[in-house]
Structure 1
Amino acid sequence: MRERRSPQKSRLRGKADTDGKRVTLPRALSKLGYCSRTQAERLIADGRVTVDGRKVIDLSAWVDMDAARIKVDGKDVVAEAKIYLMLNKPRGLVTTRDDPEGRPTVYDCLKDFDIPHLSPVGRLDKASEGLLLFTNDTTFAQALLDPLTHLTKTYHVQVDRIMDDELLAEMTYGVRHDGEVLKATSAKLLRSGDKNSWIEVELDEGRNRQIRRILEGLDTECLRLVRVAIGGLGLGDLAKGAVRPLTEAELKDLRRGAGLEKTRRN
């Protein structure tokens, strides 16, 4: 006779459900907004996490997020309210919470939002500026970053030369840099001065320093790089260094663009 598992064990073992409610314990702590998965793994390994009153140190244990009662250090872990913020990142800030070199970070702009476990969605390097999203909704963040969604990011870029049609076309055809072929979804001229140009570049993937590397492959220097839109969400008139919550309409549009909401048909 096959041995039946106890209800408690059945909540700790098995495969993930298609609706994402049955996940590994580290993932559950992350999805609840309690901490990152790496931090969760440390808590579990240290024996500080219980599920339904039983200590769990198995990092691969599965839990049902709708049924399991998870505690850390004897205190219930409950889902935090979901927060979605946009920042107009100034140039010179690094996209990290704590910088070992002591440089100013994007979190210096979030002092009025004392929200634990709030993380940036992707990154902008120190020299880049513009639209940067923050959230404690890990599912939302991962959907926006998933290359399969092809969510477009739009940048305004100042370069040290007059960009002609041939150079702009090369950006979309593909440029080899450090063994990789990199390309933009689109590139067009915005305006030109005597010695430099502003161009608009769209990407539907997020490789490290992608635009700068494309321009380097064309012997062109990037003087400024400003992200002005993610999907249909534009930077608008948000002041440099300012932060504001997303509106319900903006959030819904981003969720739809990331495939988290289906478009209704009439």
Structure 2
Amino acid sequence: MTEPSSLEGVRLQKVLAQAGIASRRRCEQLMADGRVEVNGETVTQMGVRVDPVADVIRVDGKRVPPRTDHAYLLVNKPRGVVTSMADERGRPDLRSLLADRPERLFHVGRLDTDTSGLLILTNDGDLAHRLAHPSFEVTKTYVALVKGDASDALGSRLREGVRLDDGPAAVDRFRVVDRSRGRSLVELDVHIGRNRIVRRILDHVGHPVVELTRTAFGPLRLGDLAVGATRELSRDEIGALFDSVET
């Protein structure tokens, strides 16, 4: 951590308190106990000042995101809803899920109209750009109901990769969850962001997708959030998102 002058930055315990960690006095105790880090270094001195935006602050190893007026939402997008804030063709879009939000929000990446699941909405343009940029390789998890009896050996083939019309594609992880009546339930991780990539990969190996749901995006999990519902991300979730695209 670069040592700021006495007139620069904000006192660390004040930054922690403003972030909602605890009262300022309690934050001072956390520092004294060696539970606070700034840029990888444990900080116990009460007079230390930091840049809340530039410095990476952690408590008990968890990233403390900078205090901001930005909004960070997790949405469980239903099938049939277009990933758009204003669909030109008048189809159901994300506005129908956000009627009571005053901010102008935009989505991070896309989900096909016929794909449901986890979608991030925010007005933090820098974080959104990083999350969507292929260079950061943020992993997404999908659960797919496919036609046919998928074999356990299929995972090895998909991890090695297949060649599609627009180039090679591979999954990071694959497992068969269940097989029944000529269909299989599979789960897979990918970090590729190409159009309809999961559907195209599975179709290529002879298992067309019947239903597809994204259940995770980087450190975020869909959990038991109801279809069509939204919720604010927690402080820890926002911090984990920042960590996932740290350069």
Is 1:234 aligned with 2:201? no
After superposition, what is the alpha-carbon deviation per residue over 1:126-184, rounded to whole angstroms, capped at 9, x for unaligned? 01000000000011101111222222111111101111023222222112221421111
After superposition, what is the alpha-carbon deviation per residue over 1:173-197, rounded to whole angstroms, capped at 9, x for unaligned? 1122214211111111111112111
- 2:89, 2:202 → 1: CA distance? 28
- 2:209, 2:134 → 1: CA distance? 24
Matched with 1:113 is 101
Matched with 1:170 is 157
Deviation at 1:81, TM superposition (A): 2.0
- Amino acid paired to 1:151: V
Deviation at 1:82, TM superposition (A): 0.4
- Amino acid paired to 1:170: R
Is 1:82 aligned with 2:109? no
- 1:160, 1:166 → 2: CA distance? 16
Where relative contact order (Cα < 8 A, 6+ residues apart) is larger, the structure is 2
Single out whichever of 164-173 and 205-214 deviates more from structure 2: 164-173
Equivalent position SS for 1:170: helix
Matched with 2:89 is 101
Please report the TM-score for the alignment, with normalisation by the length of structure 1: 0.65
Percent of residue pairs bearing the same amino acid type:
37
Matched ranges for 1:1-266 at <5 A: 81-116=69-104, 118-259=105-246
* Gap regions ≥5 residues in structure 1: 1-79, 261-266
- 1:179, 1:86 → 2: CA distance? 31
- 1:149, 1:97 → 2: CA distance? 25
Whether the 8 Å CA contact 2:150–2:207 is kept in 1: the answer is no
- Amino acid paired to 1:214: I
- 2:147, 2:79 → 1: CA distance? 18
- Amino acid paired to 1:90: P
Cα RMSD (Å): 1.4
Please report the TM-score for the alignment, with normalisation by the length of structure 2: 0.70
* Gap regions ≥5 residues in structure 2: 1-67
Equivalent position SS for 1:223: strand
- 2:95, 2:162 → 1: CA distance? 34
Matched with 2:38 is none
- Amino acid paired to 1:115: E
- 1:150, 1:113 → 2: CA distance? 30
Equivalent position SS for 1:104: coil
